[in-house]
């Protein structure tokens, strides 16, 4: 007998008291800009032991309007926007070239929190993209030098050979460029903060950019 997926799903619970703390969130005390609240929540997620809090879902649409989503790493967040990187020739790179608009989602279950960010995306100059890459680990450079992201792969052995060669190049020349590697910035038009509540009275606070800065509003859960 195979696994009864529906029974397994019904057996699961979210925000188990043994692993999750649901802190109170008073939206009236939230700072005037979403970046300040994001930075605070991110720090609290790190302190609470959330594994890989810097990973996020990135949603894009291609030239035909078909959505796609994947997990990527946050490279930074500042007044210019939330940043991530990939090859401009990858599937997400091509999608962003066709439709330079995207959405991000962070989920930190140890605190029952989500953050959603949506807005237009721009690419950084090549010099800045390469500087971002070379500030990262040798493994990051080796992965970037392996290249061909999203292309069809003939075998795992082909990947092993290409990766080994890329690792050797990265170790021998830590400043070697990866011409297609690109740093992207999402400039938020809307940022939503979700705080889970044990009684399902979840708090949703949305920031929206307007001509004068940021406005805030509450949303029904």
The whole-number pLDDT of residue 31 equals 97
Partners of residue 108 on adjacent β-strands: 113
The whole-number pLDDT of residue 112 equals 98
SS3 131: helix
Residue pair 207/214 in contact by the 8 Å Cβ criterion: yes
As a whole number, mean pLDDT of residues 93-105 equals 97
Q: How far apart are CA 82 and CA 139, in angstroms?
A: 23
Residue pair 15/42 in contact by the 8 Å Cβ criterion: no
- Maximum distance among all Cα pairs of the chain, rounded to whole angstroms: 61
Q: Write the pLDDT tens digit of every residue in 177-214.
A: 999 999 999 999 999 999 999 999 999 999 999 988 99
Counting every residue written for the chain, the total comes to: 221
Q: Is the pLDDT of residue 1 over 80?
A: no
Q: Is the pLDDT of residue 13 over 80?
A: yes
Q: Write the pLDDT tens digit of every residue in 29-47.
A: 999 999 999 999 999 999 9
Identify the CA nearest to 86 among candidates 39, 44, 143: 143
Residue pair 92/86 in contact by the 8 Å Cβ criterion: yes
Partners of residue 115 on adjacent β-strands: 106, 193
As a whole number, mean pLDDT of residues 62-74 equals 96
Full-model pTM: 0.93
SS3 155: coil
């Amino acid at each position: 007998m195979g696994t009864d997926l529906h029974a397994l799903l019904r057996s699961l619970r979210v925000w188990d008291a043994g692993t999750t703390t649901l802190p109170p969130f008073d939206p009236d005390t939230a700072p005037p800009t979403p970046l300040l609240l994001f930075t605070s929540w991110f720090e609290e997620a790190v302190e609470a032991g959330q594994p890989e809090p810097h990973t996020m879902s990135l949603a894009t649409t291609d030239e035909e309007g078909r959505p796609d989503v994947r997990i990527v790493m946050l490279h930074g967040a500042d007044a210019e926007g939330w940043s991530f990187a990939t090859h401009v020739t990858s599937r997400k790179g091509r999608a962003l070239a066709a439709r330079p608009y995207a959405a991000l989602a962070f989920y930190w279950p140890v605190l029952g929190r989500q953050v959603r960010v949506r807005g237009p995306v721009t690419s950084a100059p090549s010099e800045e993209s390469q500087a971002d890459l070379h500030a990262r680990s040798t493994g990051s450079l080796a992965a970037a030098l392996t290249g061909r992201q999203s292309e069809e792969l003939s075998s795992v052995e082909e990947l092993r050979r290409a990766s080994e060669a890329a690792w050797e190049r990265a170790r021998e020349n830590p400043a070697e460029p990866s011409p297609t590697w690109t740093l992207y910035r999402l400039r938020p038009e809307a940022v939503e903060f979700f705080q889970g509540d044990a009684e399902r009275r979840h708090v949703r606070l949305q920031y929206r950019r307007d001509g004068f800065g940021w406005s805030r509003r509450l949303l029904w859960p």
